[in-house]
Amino acid sequence: MMAAVESKNTEMKGVPDLSPRQRQILSLLRAGSSNKDISASLNIGIGTVKQHLVVLFRKLGVTSRTAAVSKSIDMDVMIKGPDSISVDAFSAAETTLERRPVAVVSLRVEVRSGAPSADGVDDTAIRQQIHQTFSDVGFEFGAVYFTHADGRCDLIFGVRQARRHDGLRAVRAAFSVHERLTRGHGGDVMTKGAVACGTVIASTTPTGDWSGEVLAGIVITNAQTLAQTAPANTLLIDGTARGMIDYLELGLEQGVPQHVSINDSVTWQQHPQPAPNPLFGRTHEHEILRSRLYKLRGGAQGILRIIGETGMGKTALISAFCDFASRESMPVTDRLTVAIPDSQPRDNALGKFEAVGEGGVLLSVSDVAARLRKYRPDAPHIIVIDDAHLLNTEVTVQLSEILQAYQTQKVLFVLAHRGPDPLKETPFAGSESVRLTRLKRDDAYSLATARSGPDAPFLSWAVAMAAGVPGFITQICDYLKLVRPGGSPDLTLMPPLTLFSMIAERLEGLGLDRQVLHILVRNGTPCVRKKLLAEWTGSEDAVEAVSRMTKVGVIEIDDADGISFRHPLVGWVAQHMSVSGGAKPERPEP
């Protein structure tokens, strides 16, 4: 397995000048050869091999064989492009290479030499328990993990399935390792490490699952290198990882810190964010919510559903509604969001609600019911539940029963979700829905201008790429202010990792054959359906695959039978997800 490279945006200071012999040795390292194997292959002594390795490592700026292989693959990508990693060999085997967004936590655990633990276990047994702890935490958090004999471990999140919360999961996994080790061995162990976010190249099945053959990314080496510099009992978090975690709106006043004491507990949870002011393009929707508030004051209970896809501003609209309710002296009684299990240890938050603004308190359905029973029945109450689409079937049934029990009381339930209504079978008087659609062009420009200023050169491009999705507009504008403040972007620029993760997460959740995406990237869009079908080599029926992708809104077919990505952002992400390269997707016109 390779553990190395990636990204066109890798900040490497050129390619090292290697001698022919050093290139031979590096090639043999990539093939997995030992010093003895290299000695036999090149007909030189083992001592000479070691001398060459010392010089080679110094030129590459690395300290290990794995890091040397990582750097060499990265050099190939820089010089020859991604095709240098033998894409064709994987395609022939029903496997392809994709670029995936990941979070990596690299940990180093040191054992106090010769000191027995509190229960008399010697340091050899402690080291065995350290490796078991790595394994347990990796399994519980759903990470791919690699352990080393010297007490090091790398846990990689996003390989099997990309998630927007991978950066936060990596931090929590590091704390979980430290907590378990200190609980059993106290001062006999010292833990330090680092979290880095970026992309890797991975071998995948047609539906995007990791095949286990290839996992390569410079982000792995970055995390390992950063971990080396971490002070004792400290977790370092790189800038990209901090940005990924900040995106979750955890309400940290100073943002995510670079240095975190691993002896402290992680209490980063979602907090209510200030509502955008003004709320561009949502005046009509806000008026509906305000109207329901006045009806509640008059005694009309019910359910108000806020429906919209990712990035449409459901949470922002809820924040605006909560602010208005407070000004009207009818503050929201409970603001809950469905806890996302993937942001925490496996099953720890499954079926739970997070009480927003209450320090990360997790509530079961029974806890929510108990809270409701304490409310005065003659006073109006507002219960907000965000991300209701994450509810599992069992919790949905229980919540439905609770809602029906309060049909005769002055309670307004506000449910925000995407996709099908999770409580559509729940009969409830006074039910109403607000469906969030894409912003009109003028509203989108107003939002982009407010975010970046009227003179930003990328406004038209950002608005066209976001295609009316407010969350995408803010993310793209913030990103371009950082990486292209004075120039015009194009599709060769890597998308912001936050949006890369979001799109990858949604695509993987659909379980579609990704070969459609790779063919569109390779040929450019629009791609005539006949050409796509001619290049199809997947096991699934090509016509059915195209039909499924069309139905879920990933692609669209024009009157000339040309196939394109339905949303420009999906095309942008697919361009960089596909390692096979090829023509660019169409550039959105202002």
Nearest partner of 46 among 34, 58, 56, judged by Cα:
34
What pLDDT was estimated at residue 223? 93
| Segment 199-215 mean pLDDT | 82
**Side-chain-facing half-sphere of 300: CA atoms under 13 Å:** 12
The pLDDT of residue 329: 87
pLDDT band at 12, cuts 50/70/90?
very low
Q: How far apart are CA 549 and CA 4, in angstroms?
A: 32
Cβ-contact 476, 508 below 8 angstroms: no
H or E stretch including 301? none
> What average pLDDT does range 21-28 have in this prediction?
86
Distance of alpha carbon 339 from alpha carbon 32, whole angstroms: 44
- 69 touches 2 (CB < 8 A): yes
Q: What is the pLDDT of residues 227-245, one digit of tens each?
A: 999 998 899 999 999 888 8
Nearest to 103 by CA among 73, 139, 144: 144
Q: How far apart are CA 265 and CA 6, in angstroms?
A: 33
Q: CA-to-CA distance for 87 and 580, rounded, in angstroms?
A: 7
Q: Which of 21-25, 130-134, 313-317, 346-350 has the lowest mean pLDDT?
A: 346-350
Segment 451-491, tens digit of pLDDT: 999 999 999 999 999 999 999 999 899 899 888 887 778 88
The mean-pLDDT minimum among 64-68, 296-300, 495-499 falls in 64-68
Of 323, 322, 280, the closest CA to residue 304 belongs to 322
Question: Does pLDDT of 354 surpass 90?
Answer: no
Q: pLDDT digits over 44-70, tens only?
A: 988 888 888 988 888 887 777 766 776
pLDDT score for 463: 93
Where is average pLDDT lowest: 29-33, 248-252, 297-301? 248-252
Q: Which one-letter amino acid corresponds to residue 146?
A: F
Q: Indicate the angle between helix axes 568-577 and 497-510, nearest 10 degrees.
A: 90
Cis check: omega of the bond before 278, within 30 degrees of 0: yes
The helix/strand/coil state of 126 is: helix
Q: 340: pLDDT confidence band, cut at 50, 70 and 90?
A: low
> How much is the pLDDT for 387?
85
Mean pLDDT of 401-430: 78
Q: Which DSSP category does 204 fall into?
A: E
Lowest mean pLDDT across 258-262, 397-401, 532-536, 582-586: 582-586
Mean pLDDT computed over 499-528 = 87
Query: 96-111 and 189-204 as β-strands: parallel, antiparallel, unpaired?
Result: antiparallel
pLDDT in tens, 119-152: 444 567 777 888 888 888 888 888 888 888 788 8
- Report the candidate in 218, 228, 167 with the shortest Cα–Cα distance to residue 192: 228
pTM of the model: 0.74
Distance CA 181, CA 16 (A): 41
Distance, C-alpha 476 to centroid of its chain: 16
The string of DSSP codes covering 403-448 is HHHTTTSSEEEEEEESSS-TTTT---TT-EEEE--PPPHHHHHHHH
Residue 311 has pLDDT above 70, yes or no: yes
Give me the pLDDT at residue 89, please.
Answer: 40
First to last CA, the chain: 44
Cis omega before residue 470 (within 30°)? no
pLDDT digits (tens, 9 = 90+) for 59-116: 887 777 766 776 776 666 444 444 445 444 444 345 678 899 999 999 998 876 655 5
- Give the chain's mean pLDDT: 80
Residue 231 CB coordination number (10 Å): 10
Q: Please determine, for residue 581, whether its predicted confidence score (pLDDT) is greater than 80.
A: no
Q: Is the pLDDT of residue 290 over 50?
A: yes
250: exposed, middle or buried (Cβ count in 10 Å: 0-12, 13-18, 19+)? middle
Q: Provide the strand spans (E) within 342-437.
A: 353-355, 362-363, 381-386, 411-417, 432-435
